[in-house]
Chains A and B, each alone.
Chain A
Amino acid sequence: MNHATRRWALAGLVLVLVLLPVVGSRYVVYLTVHILLLGLNAVGFNLLFGQTGLLSFGQAGFYAVGAYTCARILLAWPSLLPGVLGGTAAAAVAALVLGYLSVRHTRIYFAMLTLAFGMMIFSLAWKWRAVTGGDDGLVGVPRAPLELLGLVVPLPTVERYYYVVLVAAVLGVVVMHRVVHSPLGLALRAVRDSEVRAAHVGLDVRSLRLVAFTVAGAYAGLAGSLLPPLENTVTPPIAHWTASAEPVLATLLGGIRSFAGPLVGAFVLVVAKDVIVRFTVHWSLVLGVVVVVLVLGFRGGLVAALEGLALRAPRVQPAAAGEEGG
């Protein structure tokens, strides 16, 4: 796919997303917010997984730190921007601290450490009733207005809030695109491919891993902090390890080697579940089968498979087609 076609496709996609509240139902808009939140989380996660080669099972913890911090801020000071920025910053700080302890290890040890830290945050959310509301969570979080440069934008409807999430998601994706294609992204891939070689050329492997971990945590926190204004509630299950599996699944489905993979995976995962639960209460079984089929059938991810199709197609040149026709 050449750049011009890619730009047209992206422009079309953005146009669809911008027009969605006009052409789609309220539920489709709501569902798309969830796709964007998972997509944002998964894009951040893939900096760690696809680019740096570290599989974290604790992203839900940072998502929850962002969500709870944002909720507490909004309950005390109903203004969206401080809530979202505060939630993102808190998640980044948590990721920096826990990352410092985690990136000393790699592979299964790293995965287990992140799982343990994630579940520690889940336990805190469950037990620290004075701050988190315990198992009932924090209820009645306002969808506070967006106050920026003296401008106050009220967000009473999901449709209006959708645009806030869309802008945050687009900014997040653009920034991540720059990061992945920057010297930092190259260095992370060098660490992923051979940490010994990376160290020998002078890269600080542990610091680079910590940067990736912190950025991924910040992205999870940003996605998490955009949740309470949507749902008006934050509850502990968002911090559970099963929630950590969602960005992992989305990334695997879409493809870890493709920048768009986590976004496509998030879309497929959310829509597939939403459609399946309408037809059966045994949705988890059906969704599991669908995921297994997709992962086995599209090794390397859906985006890689689609790109493979696109690459095969140009081999049929007009002249060749004429020869075949003859």
Chain B
Amino acid sequence: MRWVWVPLVVVALLAGASWSAAGPATCALGVPTIKLGVQGAASGPHADYGRQIEMGAQLAIEEINAAGGILGCRLEMRFMDEELRPATAVRNARFLVTEWGAHFLYGVDSSGSAMALGPVLRELDRIQFFTHAATHRLTEELVAQQKIKQIVRVSAPVYQDAVAAWLFRDRRDVRRWATIGADYEYGYATWAIFREQMRRLRPDVEFVGAAWAPFLTTDFSPHIAAVMATNPDGIIATPWAGEAVTLLRQALLQGVFDRIKVWFQAMGGSVDVLEGISQEVKEGRFQGKLYATARYIHNWPNTETNRSFVSRFAKRWNRMPNYSAETTYSAIYITKAAVERARSLQTDRVIAALQGMRIETPAGVRVFRSEDHQFVYAVPAGKVVWDPRYPIAVLGELKVFDPKDYWRWPPFRPLELSK
């Protein structure tokens, strides 16, 4: 009967794969601690975004705990690698909620992961505060249409990239636009909303070329050559993170900045991109033609809340905060405000407490939009410059536009995506 132990081992291992989250209630909300499950890309070439999510979350938790927690309840965090894989994000969420006992979820980086999580959140009945994934479909389709109420987005969606149209609307010398786009929905959506806005503001512009680079492209020279063959005045580029750094360096090597008038790097205001091109910016190699935005920029707004956040973040982590750090940090403070208002951890009550919320965060005032559970706030765009007060390149000559002008608003009509 030696083999009888096989099922016993199976049982033991399966039992070992789970451990109970139950424990004695110790705070006003009837739980020992409030558990926050956080996910982000922690492996692969985009791992810095996950690391920033983790740093932002941890800083917020340390601060809130030091100040007595939420209604006397301490916060506890568990961070997991999303791997930019939807299946992993779903598995993590299920583990965090059903095994570890998370009360709230935060992250994720990938839009695909965000879309995959949506239906699962309804099944788990837990609120996920999305702090990076930018697809418009998350809030427009899953919340506004399908009524998955557990989805809340704190970060700016892909609408943010349409700010480029407003930034350059008065540049009469820039008439011919082309894109070097990420060859997936983010790239198509950015190009679509940029063209939509630009056509409205500047009927005289032409869209002359487009080249699409697959995810994890390392050699952009054919894409650059294809777009430059159309003789554009301006280029809008959507490869992000390390890919953006590679693209910009290769554009310099190919002399692109000698021939164009402006280059808009959609998420170029991200700390990892600014770090990557700091030397080139310092040397003036972009000739003042490189512009960018992000979903938060550490040198804006010039408020005490933001200055204090950046200072504390830099002191704690010896890094500038990326947008995914700020959005996650703010999401946890939004949770605090909602739970204190609801005096409950129940999903329905917390969602009710979010209605009408208007909250001061490092990125400025965020306002909850009830139709699609999207927090609305303004992020400026500007020129990538070197400022000796900062250890890395920053965005200067900042221009702020009202999101009412360039965000999409309900009722939503489908966005026509095409190359």
Contact = CB atoms under 8 A, between A and B. Distances in A.
Interface of A: 1, 5-6, 8-9, 12-13, 15-16, 20, 23-28, 30-32, 34, 126, 129, 134-137, 139-140, 231-233, 235-238, 267, 271, 274-275, 277-278, 281-284, 310, 313
A139 B142 contact: yes
A281 B112 contact: no
Contact of B1 (A8, A25, A283): A8
Interface of B: 1-4, 6-8, 10-11, 13-18, 42-43, 50, 79-81, 85-87, 90-92, 94-95, 98-99, 111-112, 115-116, 118-120, 123, 135, 137, 141-142, 146, 184-185, 214-215, 417
Nearest to B215: A135
B95 A126 contact: no
B179 to A, nearest CB: 17
Given A5-B1, A134-B184, A15 B10 contact: no
A274 B17 CA distance: 8
B4 A12 contact: yes
Contact of A137 (B2, B10, B43, B86): B86
A129 B91 CA distance: 25
A32 B14 contact: yes
A91 B41 CA distance: 31
B98 A233 contact: no
A26 B98 contact: yes
B137 A136 contact: yes
A135 B80 contact: no
B118 A136 contact: no
Given A23-B11, A135-B112, A140-B146, 5 more contacts: A1-B3, A24-B14, A24-B15, A27-B17, A232-B116
B150 to A, nearest CB: 13
A267 B10 contact: yes
Nearest to A142: B119
Nearest to B5: A9
Contacts of A134: 184-185
B112 A231 contact: no
A136 B17 contact: no
Contact of A310 (B2, B15, B120, B185): B2
Nearest to B40: A281
A274 B48 CA distance: 23
A8 B120 CA distance: 38
Contacts of B184: 126, 134-135
A302 to B, nearest CB: 12
Can you list the 6 inter-chain pairs with the closest CB atoms, starting with the nearest? A12-B7, A232-B119, A135-B184, A281-B42, A233-B116, A9-B3
B188 to A, nearest CB: 8
A310 B3 CA distance: 8
B85 A237 contact: yes
**Overall SS of chain A's interface:** helix
Nearest to A7: B3
Nearest to B96: A27
A16 B7 CA distance: 7
Contacts of A15: 7
A267 B80 CA distance: 21
Given A27-B94, A27-B99, A235 B87 contact: yes
A231 B120 contact: yes
B7 A31 contact: no
B17 A139 contact: no
A271 B13 contact: yes
B185 A136 contact: yes
A183 to B, nearest CB: 29
A30 B93 CA distance: 12
Contacts of B87: 231, 235, 237-238
Contacts of B14: 20, 24, 28, 31-32, 271
Contacts of A310: 2-3
B185 A28 contact: no
A27 B115 CA distance: 21
A135 B185 contact: yes
Contact of B115 (A25, A129, A139): A139
Contacts of B120: 231-232
Most chain-A Cβ atoms within 10 A of its Cβ — which of B81, B86, B137? B86
Contacts of B141: 139
Nearest to A8: B4
A277 B81 contact: yes
B77 to A, nearest CB: 13
A257 to B, nearest CB: 18
B194 to A, nearest CB: 19
30 contacts: A5-B2, A5-B4, A6-B3, A8-B3, A12-B8, A13-B6, A23-B11, A26-B98, A30-B94, A32-B14, A134-B184, A135-B184, A136-B111, A139-B115, A139-B118, A139-B142, A140-B119, A140-B146, A231-B116, A231-B120, A233-B86, A233-B90, A237-B87, A274-B95, A277-B80, A277-B81, A278-B80, A281-B81, A283-B43, A283-B81
A232 B119 CA distance: 7
A15 B80 CA distance: 33
B23 to A, nearest CB: 16
B17 A275 contact: yes
A229 to B, nearest CB: 11
Contacts of B94: 26-27, 30
B391 to A, nearest CB: 26
A78 to B, nearest CB: 14
B89 to A, nearest CB: 10
Contacts of B85: 237
A270 to B, nearest CB: 9
Contact of A25 (B43, B98, B417): B98
